[in-house]
Amino acid sequence: MFKIVAKRQLNEAVTLMEIEAPYIAKKAKAGQFIIFRVDEYGERIPLTIADTDPEKGTVTIIFQAVGTSTRTLAQMNEGDAILDFVGPLGNATEIEGYKNVCVVGGGVGCAIAYPSAKALHKAGAHVDMIAGFRNKDIVILEDEMRAVSDNLYVTTDDGSYGEKGFVTNKLQALIDAGNKYDLVIAIGPIPMMKFLAEVTRPYGIKTLVSLNPIMIDGTGMCGGCRVTVGGKIRFACVDGPDFDGHEVDFDELMRRNSYYKAQERESANHECRIIKAGKAAEAAADALKTGLDTAASFTKEEK
C-alpha cells in the first residue's frame, strides 16, 4: 500500500497529491510516469510524475478528476493509501545539450510541462515557459512554473488572466520576436500539440510532445498505447512518452483516444447494484424508524 502524505486542491477539478514511494522517488526523472490502481477493483491509470522528493521519499502526482478511478482518488485524503503505485515508467525527457528552450503547457498539461522545465532550468538552459488555460479560474502551478523559468507567459482563451489568446499565438510571437529556440516541448491536449508542431515546423525547431494514448500494462506487452510516428508503430509506454512532434500522426491518436467514450460515460454513471440495493435498504429502514417513532409519539399523546 502507498500512503497519501499530502493533498492540495489546485482548482475545482485538479488535485495534487504526494505519495509515499521512496524507491520511485530515488530513481524518477522528468518525463517519466507511474501507473496507479486505487484498489483491487480499480483500473490501471498512468499519470506523469510532477515532482519528487528523494529525501522525504515522496512522489507528486497532479490529476484531473474525469473518470471513475481519478474521481475515486480525488475523494481520498491524507493518511489514506492506494493499492498499486508502479514506476518510474517510460523514458526521461531529453535535457542535455540544449541552451535555449521553450516549454509549453496547456491546462492540466502544465503539471507535466513543469518537471521538464525544472530539469532544463537546473541543467543551465535558458527556459521560456508558456502556460495556457481556458480562463483564470483553472490556472494552476503559476508560482512553481515561474520559479523554474526565465520567462513565464500565462495565456487564457478569454483574456480573464495574463495574455488573451492561445499558446500557439504566443509561441509564434516569441519566434517572430527573434527567439532562437533549439528545442520546444509541448504538453497538453492533442490538438494543441498538433498545432504547436505546425508552428515550429517551418523553422526546423526540434519539437517534443508527450503523448497520452490509452495505456494498460505500461511495459510494452499489450500494445494498447501504440502510436504512429514517422510512419512506424511505436509504443508510448516504452518508446516514449516523448516523441518528435513533426512525425506524430495526431489525427490517428485522437481517433484512438475516442474509441471508448461511450464506455467511459457508462462507467461514470454506473452504480453498483449491490450498493444501490444497500442504499434502498437503508432508506427503507430510515422510513420505517421514522414511522415507528411517529406512531410511538401518537400513542403517548393518546395516553
Residue 254 burial (CB count, 10 A): 13
Residue 144 burial (CB count, 10 A): 19
pLDDT of residue 142: 93
Question: Higher confidence at residue 287 or residue 1?
Answer: 1
Category of 4 on φ-ψ map: left (φ > 0), alpha (ψ -120 to 50) or beta: beta
pLDDT of residue 300: 59
d(CA 263, CA 146): 39
Burial level of 266, CB count in 10 A (0-12/13-18/19+)? exposed
Mean pLDDT across the stretch 2-10?
Answer: 93
Q: Which of 59-63, 126-130, 271-275, 290-294 has the lowest mean pLDDT?
A: 271-275
Give the residue from 102, 119, 127 showing the smallest Cα distance to 199: 102
Question: Higher confidence at residue 297 or residue 230?
Answer: 230
| 9 phi/psi in degrees, rounded to 5 | -85, 115
Mean pLDDT across the stretch 174-197?
Answer: 95
Please give the CATH number for the structural domain made up of 100-257. Answer: 3.40.50.80
Mean pLDDT across the stretch 196-224?
Answer: 90
Please give the CATH number for the structural domain made up of 2-89. Answer: 2.40.30.10
- Could you tell me the three cell numbers for 88? 518510474
Cis bond before residue 54 (omega within 30° of 0): no
Average pLDDT, the chain: 88
Burial level of 180, CB count in 10 A (0-12/13-18/19+)? exposed
Residue 257's pLDDT band, with cuts at 50, 70 and 90, is confident
Mean pLDDT across the stretch 160-182?
Answer: 94
**Percent of the chain's residues with pLDDT above 90:** 67
Mean pLDDT across the stretch 148-159?
Answer: 94
Q: What residues contact 94, with CB distance under 8 A and at least 6 apart?
A: 183, 208, 242
Question: Higher confidence at residue 296 or residue 74?
Answer: 74
d(CA 207, CA 255): 22
Mean pLDDT across the stretch 26-47?
Answer: 90
Mean pLDDT across the stretch 278-299?
Answer: 67
| pTM: predicted TM-score of the whole model, two decimal places | 0.81
pLDDT of residue 271: 58
Q: Which of 36-40, 99-103, 237-241, 278-282 has the highest mean pLDDT?
A: 99-103
Given strand 242-244, what is the order of strands in its sheet?
163-164, 151-156, 126-133, 100-106, 183-187, 207-210, 242-244
100-131 pLDDT, tens digit per residue, is 999 999 999 999 899 999 999 999 999 999 99
d(CA 135, CA 157): 6
pLDDT of residue 260: 63
Whether residue 265 is predicted with pLDDT greater than 70 in this model: the reply is: no
Domain boundaries, the chain: 2-89, 100-257
pLDDT of residue 42: 83
**Percent of the chain's residues with pLDDT above 70:** 88
Number of H helices, E strands in the chain: 10, 16
What is the Cα Rg of the chain in Å? 23
| Long-range CB contacts for residues 151-156, cutoff 8 Å, separation at least 24 | 151/127, 152/128, 153/128, 153/129, 155/130, 155/131, 156/132
Mean pLDDT across the stretch 150-156?
Answer: 96
Q: Give the CA count within 13 Å in the CB-facing half-sphere of 264.
A: 12
Burial level of 289, CB count in 10 A (0-12/13-18/19+)? exposed
Q: What is the DSSP string of 93-125?
A: PP-TT-SEEEEEEEGGGHHHHHHHHHHHHHTT-
Q: Which of 76-85, 154-163, 164-173, 265-274 has the lowest mean pLDDT?
A: 265-274
| 197 phi/psi in degrees, rounded to 5 | -65, -30
Whether residue 281 is predicted with pLDDT greater than 80 in this model: the reply is: no
